[in-house]
């Protein structure tokens, strides 16, 4: 590999004029009442759009390091987004409590994709903020060079990889729930495809895969449903995650933000999809054709709500949405209960109303387009609209008698885009299913694979890391494919000759989101593992203490399968087993008391069990309230170097029905149950059929 140019922000003339406009003492308060004073410094670099905020702990608590978070989507005030976080989600308090100062910037841009004179502004401006934070640390503490660690997930994962590969500003990085260079828009589009094509059978799929289920997720599915489920699973999408849709939560994720860019870059696709053989829309018997909606209507009445976006004093508050599941929503405008009543609306059973564009064919609003949020009676409820700065202004132009056109053609078409974006790089095995035995492509392809230009960093990750790296990847990720982290591990090996400076921890029963609310009876969150990884990374860099071994796993037809035994699996997360009357499914009579046994196994060196909690009801909502309300008694166990715990409990089911009992175990590196930031979690479930 050719020697690459590593960016040094200290030598960049663009970032030589920093300024500070706020310098004051503030305070974070932990849930246990502990107060963490910190010196808040806000500023930026003159003649740029880059702003930053630094949060320094008191001198006696400082241990010579900083943590720098990169949001998935930039924003004009992103440097202050974390100030609103509380409890387990408080990134600033975590840093302060562990002797680090905290760095965040707006990365110099309000846009995720393009529109920047310097496409590498994300890693350059982030590095500049990191280096200037060191200058301020030297002033405050009289210290030498602080160690620096950068981290971020999803879109922030792309940014984190770009930072650790292309600059010398950080000593290590923790990218999490990461994609590959060809993930966007493909992962998001295939998820929407599954939401549409499988919407009648989510419950069947989930029940088959749940505790005590048949294990055959194809049982009872129609031929086209089984085919699309097989295809998307082979692409890397975990079939267990359809429990979200089975619970009634249909969310296209960031597709409304990504779709306009695809339409602009490849407008011909949206015509070819419906006309050219080889595309799903050209098959008259396909589900795409059956779900297509095109409807002309006449406006009867318009409701334009008042705007409540401004605070009472007229100043906008900083938008605190900077997580992997919500940062992109800053680019959408909420309909705020706006609606347009029509003389008539589409009718029929099982209408597919996702992604329906509302365009105006006559009147003053011709050329404008809104997104349908739903239909209530004869009213079109306006949804979250992209690129709409003045929604009330658009609606005020709409008058009774104007003609509108409802059309979901583009939204259905983009769902299949991943089929026609097969990368030339054969290392992306998920796309092997679109090649024949000789390796020839079996479907028509677009000219360019878009993903390489959609990372928002001006670079494509190549594994040439300039420090130590730990990756956290969720196995029930609904927004990126778990195999992407395995692919990146391979790129590190290829670039560096080994992965000795790299660790990868796969997390069972975890979704994409990086908030503590990502917990119910089907999933837990990886936040404790992420924070522990940051601490392990600092120990690795500063003291040479090797972190835990990479999770041992296999790649099988798009899916990542961790080793069954915890001795073989290793990693950072405990393994949890829940048995009802010694099995995963128990049959009992109403009024009968049953025994539950929980076994927790902890990887060598990962710590000790701090809690085992139960829930005897099944709640799939987000967030589920009062999850795991029953605190279980447990005994810690040890089998050589493998530690763990066992817990026994009983419960009486008074009424007939099918119940799913769940248990959550927490593990802390030092057995400290009070540390809210570093509890590494996993869950298990059992089915009880009461007659």
Our CA dihedral for 606, 612, 616, 617, rounded to 10 degrees, sits at -60
Q: What is the pLDDT of residue 329?
A: 41
**Interatomic CA distance for residues 324 and 331, integer angstroms:** 14
More confident residue, 335 or 609: 609
- pLDDT grade, residue 260 (50/70/90)? confident
Same domain, 234 and 85: no
Share of the chain residues as helix, strand and coil, in percent rounded to the nearest 5: 30, 25, 45
Q: What is the pLDDT of residue 383?
A: 83
Convert the pLDDT of each residue in 521-546 to its tens digit. 999 999 999 999 999 999 999 999 99
Q: What is the pLDDT of residue 617?
A: 81
Report whether pLDDT(387) > 90: no
Shortest CA distance to 201 belongs to which of 175, 224, 184, 220? Answer: 220
Residue 564 lies in a domain: no
Residue 568 lies in a domain: no
Same domain, 386 and 504: no
- Which segment of 5-9, 308-312, 478-482 scores lowest on mean pLDDT? 308-312
Q: What is the pLDDT of residue 308?
A: 36
Report whether pLDDT(223) > 90: yes
Q: What is the pLDDT of residue 306?
A: 59
Same domain, 390 and 425: no
**Interatomic CA distance for residues 320 and 343, integer angstroms:** 41
Report whether pLDDT(415) > 90: yes
Q: Which residues of 452-486 are buried (b: 16+ CB within 10 A; e: fewer)?
A: ebbbbbbbbbbbbbbbbbbbbbbbbbbbbbbbbbb
**Interatomic CA distance for residues 572 and 605, integer angstroms:** 8
Q: 57 has which bridge partners?
A: 38
Give every CB contact of residue 36 below 8 A, 6+ residues apart in sequence. Answer: 27, 28, 29, 30, 57, 93, 96, 97
> CB atoms < 10 A from the CB of 416, how many?
22
Same domain, 445 and 479: no
HSE-up of 645 (CA within 13 Å, CB side)?
23
Same domain, 177 and 194: no
- Which segment of 117-121, 174-178, 552-556, 593-597 scores lowest on mean pLDDT? 117-121
Report whether 159 contacts 460 (CB < 8 A).
Answer: no
| Helix (H/G/I), strand (E/B), else coil: 681 | strand
Number of domains in the chain: 4
Q: What is the pLDDT of residue 138?
A: 98
Q: What is the pLDDT of residue 324?
A: 57
Report whether pLDDT(349) > 80: yes
Residue 262: both structure tokens together: 């695809």
Whether omega before 311 lies within 30 degrees of 0, making that bond cis, reads no
Residue 321 lies in a domain: yes
Q: What is the pLDDT of residue 516?
A: 87
Report whether pLDDT(509) > 90: yes
Residue 240 lies in a domain: yes
Mean pLDDT for all residues in the chain: 92
- Which segment of 77-81, 222-226, 506-510 scores lowest on mean pLDDT? 77-81
Same domain, 174 and 200: no
Residue 567 lies in a domain: no
- pLDDT grade, residue 322 (50/70/90)? low
- pLDDT grade, residue 586 (50/70/90)? very high
Q: What is the pLDDT of residue 227?
A: 97
Same domain, 428 and 282: yes
Same domain, 397 and 372: yes
- pLDDT grade, residue 309 (50/70/90)? very low
Read off the pLDDT of each residue in 537-560 and give the average, rounded to a whole number. Answer: 98
Same domain, 398 and 262: no
Which stretches of 415-517 are DSSP H helices?
483-496
Q: What is the pLDDT of residue 113?
A: 46
Same domain, 356 and 434: no
Report whether 156 contacts 71 (CB < 8 A).
Answer: yes
Residue 652: both structure tokens together: 């009486």
Residue tagged 């175990």 (tokens): 665
Q: Please give the helix or strand (H or E) that residue 155 lies within, else none.
A: helix 155-166
What letter does residue 276 receive in the DSSP assignment? S
Read off the pLDDT of each residue in 63-78 and give the average, rounded to a whole number. Answer: 91
Report whether 161 contacts 173 (CB < 8 A).
Answer: yes
Shortest CA distance to 182 belongs to which of 491, 395, 444? Answer: 491
Report whether pLDDT(462) > 90: yes
For residue 113, give its domain range.
9-181+455-543
- Which segment of 172-176, 380-384, 436-440 scores lowest on mean pLDDT? 380-384
Q: 576 has which bridge partners?
A: 600
Residue 247 lies in a domain: yes
- pLDDT grade, residue 623 (50/70/90)? low
Residue tagged 């390091």 (tokens): 65
Convert the pLDDT of each residue in 664-677 to its tens digit. 999 999 999 999 99
> CB atoms < 10 A from the CB of 96, how many?
25
More confident residue, 115 or 67: 67
What letter does residue 11 receive in the DSSP assignment? G
Read off the pLDDT of each residue in 113-127 and give the average, rounded to a whole number. Answer: 79
Residue 148: both structure tokens together: 């620096």
Same domain, 234 and 300: no
Q: What is the pLDDT of residue 256?
A: 81
Q: Please give the helix or strand (H or E) that residue 577 lies within, else none.
A: strand 575-580
Question: Last residue of a domain, which of 343, 377, 407?
Answer: 407
Report whether pLDDT(236) > 70: yes
Q: Please give the helix or strand (H or E) that residue 202 lies within, else none.
A: helix 202-209
Which stretches of 442-513 are DSSP H helices?
483-496
Report whether pLDDT(319) > 70: no
More confident residue, 117 or 141: 141
Report whether pLDDT(1) > 80: no
Q: What is the pLDDT of residue 104?
A: 98
Instruction: Specify the CATH number for the domain of residue 402.
Output: 2.40.10.170
Same domain, 264 and 377: no
CA 687 from centre of chain: 29
Q: What is the pLDDT of residue 625?
A: 77
Read off the pLDDT of each residue in 352-361 and give the average, rounded to a whole number. Answer: 95
Instruction: Specify the CATH number for the domain of residue 163.
Output: 3.40.50.1820
Report whether pLDDT(621) > 70: no
**Interatomic CA distance for residues 571 and 553, integer angstroms:** 10
- pLDDT grade, residue 116 (50/70/90)? low
- pLDDT grade, residue 321 (50/70/90)? low
Strand locations in 48-205 (E): 51-57, 65-69, 100-105, 147-153, 172-176
Residue 516 lies in a domain: yes
Q: How many residues does the chain have?
A: 691
More confident residue, 514 or 76: 514
Report whether pLDDT(320) > 80: no
Residue 551 lies in a domain: no
Report whether pLDDT(408) > 70: yes
Q: What is the pLDDT of residue 312?
A: 34
Our CA dihedral for 221, 520, 258, 444, rounded to 10 degrees, sits at -20
Instruction: Specify the CATH number for the domain of residue 612.
Output: 2.60.40.650
């Amino acid at each position: 590999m050719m020697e690459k140019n590593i960016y040094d922000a200290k030598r960049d003339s663009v970032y030589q004029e920093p300024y500070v406009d706020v310098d004051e003492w503030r305070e974070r308060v932990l849930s246990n009442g502990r107060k963490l004073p910190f010196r808040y410094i806000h500023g930026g670099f003159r003649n740029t759009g880059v702003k930053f905020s630094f949060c320094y702990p008191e001198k006696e608590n400082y241990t010579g390091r900083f943590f720098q978070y990169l949001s998935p989507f930039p924003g004009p005030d992103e440097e202050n987004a974390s100030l609103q976080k509380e409890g387990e989600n408080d990134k600033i308090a975590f840093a302060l409590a562990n002797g680090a100062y905290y760095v965040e910037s707006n990365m110099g841009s309000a846009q995720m994709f393009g529109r920047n004179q310097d496409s590498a502004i994300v890693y350059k401006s982030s590095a500049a903020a990191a280096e200037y934070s060191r200058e301020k640390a030297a002033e405050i503490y009289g210290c030498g060079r602080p160690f620096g660690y950068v981290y971020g997930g999803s879109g922030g994962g792309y940014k984190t990889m770009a930072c650790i590969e292309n600059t010398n500003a950080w000593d290590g990085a923790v990218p999490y729930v990461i994609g590959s260079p060809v993930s966007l828009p493909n992962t998001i589009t295939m998820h929407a495809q599954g939401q549409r094509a499988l919407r009648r059978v989510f419950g069947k799929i989930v029940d088959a895969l749940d505790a005590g289920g048949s294990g055959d997720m194809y049982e009872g599915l129609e031929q086209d449903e089984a085919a699309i489920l097989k295809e998307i699973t082979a692409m890397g999408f975990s079939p267990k995650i359809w429990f979200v849709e089975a619970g009634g939560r249909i969310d296209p994720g960031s597709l409304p933000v990504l779709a306009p860019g695809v339409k602009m870059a490849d407008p011909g696709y949206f015509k070819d999809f419906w006309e050219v053989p080889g595309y799903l829309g050209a098959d008259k018997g396909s589900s795409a054709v059956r779900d297509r909606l095109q409807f002309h209507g006449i406006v009867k009445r318009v409701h334009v709500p008042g705007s409540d976006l401004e605070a009472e004093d007229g100043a906008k508050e900083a938008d605190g949405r900077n997580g992997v599941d919500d940062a992109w929503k800053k680019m959408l405008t909420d309909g705020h209960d706006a609606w347009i009543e029509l003389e008539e609306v589409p009718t029929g059973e099982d209408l597919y109303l996702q992604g329906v564009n509302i365009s105006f064919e006559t009147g003053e609003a011709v050329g404008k387009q809104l997104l349908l949020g739903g239909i209530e009676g004869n009213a079109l409820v306006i949804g979250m609209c992209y690129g709409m700065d003045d929604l009330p202004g658009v609606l005020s132009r709409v008058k009774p008698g104007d003609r509108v056109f409802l059309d979901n053609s583009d939204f259905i078409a983009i769902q299949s885009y991943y089929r026609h974006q097969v990368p030339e790089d054969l290392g992306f095995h998920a796309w092997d299913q679109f090649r024949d035995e000789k390796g020839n492509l079996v479907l028509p392809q677009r000219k360019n694979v878009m993903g390489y230009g959609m990372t928002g960093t001006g670079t494509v990750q190549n594994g040439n890391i300039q420090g130590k790296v730990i990756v956290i990847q969720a196995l029930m990720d609904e927004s990126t494919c778990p195999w992407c982290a395995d692919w990146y591990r391979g790129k590190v090996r290829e670039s560096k000759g080994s992965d000795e400076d790299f660790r990868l921890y796969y997390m069972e029963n975890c979704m994409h989101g990086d908030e503590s609310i990502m917990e119910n009876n089907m999933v837990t969150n990886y936040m404790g593992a992420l924070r522990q990884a940051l601490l392990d990374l600092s120990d690795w860099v500063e003291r040479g203490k090797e972190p835990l071994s990479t999770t041992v796993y296999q790649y099988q037809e798009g899916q990542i399968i961790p080793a069954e035994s915890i001795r073989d699996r290793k990693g950072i997360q405990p393994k949890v087993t829940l048995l009802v009357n010694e099995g995963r499914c128990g049959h009992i009579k109403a009024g009968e008391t049953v025994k539950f046994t929980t076994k927790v196994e902890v990887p060598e060196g990962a710590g000790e069990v701090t809690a085992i909690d139960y829930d005897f009801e099944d709640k799939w909502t987000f967030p589920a309230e009062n999850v795991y309300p029953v605190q279980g008694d447990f005994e810690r166990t040890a089998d050589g170097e493998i530690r763990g715990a066992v817990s026994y409990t009983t419960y009486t089911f008074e009424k007939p029905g099918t119940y799913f009992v769940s248990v959550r175990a927490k593990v802390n590196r030092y057995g400290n149950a009070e540390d809210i930031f570093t509890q590494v979690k996993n869950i298990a479930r059992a089915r009880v059929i009461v007659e």
